[in-house]
Amino acid sequence: MDVDQPAQRHRVLGEETSWSARPELAPDGKRLLYASYHGRQWQQLWLTTPDGAAPLPLSFGEFDRRNARWSPDGKRIAYVDNRDGNTALRVMDALGGATRDVVATHRVTRLPQAQLVLDIVDEHGARTPARAALLASDGRAYAPDAAWMYADDGFDRALQSAETHYFHCAPPCTLEVPAGRVQLWVQHGFAYAPWRQAVNLAAGRATPLRAQLQPQRLPDTFGRFISADLHIHMNYGGHYRNTPAHLAAQARAEDLDLAWDLVVNKEERFPDIAAFRTDPDPASTSRALVLHGQEYHTSFWGHLGLLNLGDHLLMPGFSAYRHTAMASPYPTNGAIADLAHAQGALVGYVHPFDTLPDPAHDAVLSNELPADVIQGKVDYIEIVGFSDHKATAQVWYRLLNLGFHLPTGAGTDAMANYASLRGPVGLNRVFLDTGGQRDRAAALAALKAGHGFASNGPLLGLLLDGAKPGAQLATGRHHYRVALRSPVAVDHLELVHNGQVVKAFTLSGDRRHLDAEGELDLDGGWVLLRAWNDGADPEVLDLYPYATTNPVWLGDHVLAPSAREDAAWFARWMDRTIEAAAARDDYNTAAEKRMTLDYLGKARDAYRALAAGKPSTTTAEAGR
């Protein structure tokens, strides 16, 4: 547009996915250079004209090129790409395509420099990859030249002045930093205590530093656990280009046994579709198993995690996207769950709730979770995930009160190729009691059975009369035994029975360790152990520390005392979901709308029956 005539503007190009486009006119004013996916998996360089001529690609490749700029004479184009995984600055001839790397061969530093050689070993003295964060004397974060640097974009400014920067170190790691005092933080999952140390570095010298990690595991009596992050996106839209081998390295540094990459349709593309396979990825190692599943996207019904698809991805990968040819709210999540179960998959609700749903006051309430749970479509729910753990747990407790054996999973929703996003791979994980077996079948069986706990830091052990979470006991007087091992201080550790705290444990000292036992009289329903903090902790790159075990069940199909009230709450929720679904005018056919409303209506009727004290005939109720 004319700078002096801002109202006289026109659209040059419209795209569904256009972030990082960074359009720039060529010096001749006739060509418009920009970056775009344009229906492909990776961003490349494209050309159009100020009049909006049909775009044509200027570059190609299964990696990203972006942040492109013309040289003043229009003969060259500088850009950043991630062809080799990390970012690189390159210059390409506009005519001919010859490319040269721009590499810093000599550095002039403002401050005297020192070298730090970081070694990391476990309790046996064996070198161990880990996550490391270094803050130098100039107040800046540093990493080895070839490392992927990450920054946690969510932090409490009352606790720290800037976001935490970190990198994964496969020791030894060499860093060039300003001389003076540096502060180091090394973390290797949750079963090792964080290692912190400050050291003074002399200018012009190399200083070796050894981080000795100390374990803080639960006693084997509570289970022999493996850890799994059920919700990772290997590539999504970040600056780096990830691979299964690099994802396995990320998982190993975080002491994560299973990394589940969920291939996802992000508007016009499936970034990791080429990596999808039904068996474990060949890049897996003995300590880090990489698996591929799918996240099914629909912000109307809620997102689904599909683990262990036995044959193929479910297409097109999303529904209910307004103003597109895929605007129809059908298929429902229930229909997708049926297709996934037909392939032998487990279906979970991922990153469910940022706030507690309010059927009475929410402007729109379309989340389908209650309908799918009561009709037997849901195998797990991410209580610990990219959402508010406490809000999600409140919904979960109401479902448990109705006797639904719905296990907790956990997933970070990590975009593992981002430079700046919330938390690393394995930030939110589920610990599965597999007897120590690190394989997919054992993990899926433990997840489905509710054998384990979910956490973003604290490790929890619960035994009730010697029985572990997922077990079913008679009602009456019970002997409990609990354990806490945590990399951070914990504010609250509680036994919860049918949604109510029946035992709060007093934590003292560093509030990271507790062993306790005692007796409780418990009637029917369920009981679990949870740990949580009132606010954020800089050593947990999440909203706040939180962990929960799965429930131990008490009695034979015994509902909680509040079950009728909880059922009525879900019935009102379903009223609002039916209202939202009926208001949509973008179903493809009348049959799609009828099937959708019939499905939701059946769920509402089932909840109404439970609220009235009548037995339900849904699939989930019959199978309890």
Burial class (CB in 10 A: 0-12, 13-18, 19+), 287: middle
Burial class (CB in 10 A: 0-12, 13-18, 19+), 321: buried
The whole-number pLDDT of residue 1 equals 76
| pLDDT for residue 233 is more than 70 | yes
| pLDDT for residue 621 is more than 50 | no
The whole-number pLDDT of residue 622 equals 38
Buried b (16+ CB within 10 A) or exposed e, 255-268: bbbbbbbbbbbbbe
Mean pLDDT of the chain: 95
**pTM to 2 decimal places:** 0.96
d(CA 45, CA 65): 6
The whole-number pLDDT of residue 161 equals 86
**Helices 563-583 and 590-611, packing angle to 10 deg:** 160
User: Coil, strand, or helix at residue 145?
Assistant: coil
d(CA 179, CA 202): 6
pLDDT digits (tens, 9 = 90+) for 420-453: 888 899 999 999 999 999 999 999 999 999 999 9
d(CA 244, CA 251): 10
The whole-number pLDDT of residue 184 equals 98
| pLDDT for residue 362 is more than 50 | yes
Q: Which of 38-42, 554-558, 568-572 has the lowest mean pLDDT?
A: 38-42
Q: Which of 7-16, 281-290, 415-424, 612-621 has the lowest mean pLDDT?
A: 612-621
Quote the tokens at residue 266.
Answer: 């992000």
pLDDT digits (tens, 9 = 90+) for 476-535: 999 999 999 999 999 999 999 999 999 999 999 999 999 999 999 999 999 999 999 999
| pLDDT for residue 624 is more than 60 | no
Q: At which residue do the structure tokens 């961003």 appear?
A: 43
Which letter does DSSP use for residue 220 in this model?
A: G
pLDDT digits (tens, 9 = 90+) for 288-317: 999 999 999 998 999 999 999 999 999 999
| pLDDT for residue 229 is more than 80 | yes
Q: Which of 12-26, 83-97, 298-312, 341-355 has the lowest mean pLDDT?
A: 12-26
Which pLDDT band, with edges at 50, 70 and 90, does 605 fall under?
very high
The amino acid that residue 587 corresponds to is Y
| pLDDT for residue 564 is more than 50 | yes
| pLDDT for residue 623 is more than 90 | no
The whole-number pLDDT of residue 618 equals 57
Beta strands in 202-254 (DSSP E): 206-212, 225-233
Question: Which of left, alpha, beta for 413 (phi over 0: left; psi -120 to 50: alpha)?
Answer: left
- Element (H or E) spanning 403, and its range? none
Which pLDDT band, with edges at 50, 70 and 90, does 155 fall under?
confident
Which pLDDT band, with edges at 50, 70 and 90, does 584 fall under?
very high
User: Concatenated DSSP letters for 278-333?
Assistant: SS--TT--SS-EEEEEEEEB-TTT--EEEE--SS---SSSB---TTSTT---PSPH
Question: Which of left, alpha, beta for 199 (phi over 0: left; psi -120 to 50: alpha)?
Answer: beta
The whole-number pLDDT of residue 458 equals 98
**Cβ–Cβ under 8 Å, residues 579 and 600:** no
pLDDT digits (tens, 9 = 90+) for 446-455: 999 999 999 9
Mean predicted confidence (pLDDT) in 592-612: 98
Query: Would you say how long the chain is, in residues?
Result: 624
Q: Give the residue with greater pLDDT, 271 vs 188.
A: 188
Which pLDDT band, with edges at 50, 70 and 90, does 2 fall under?
confident
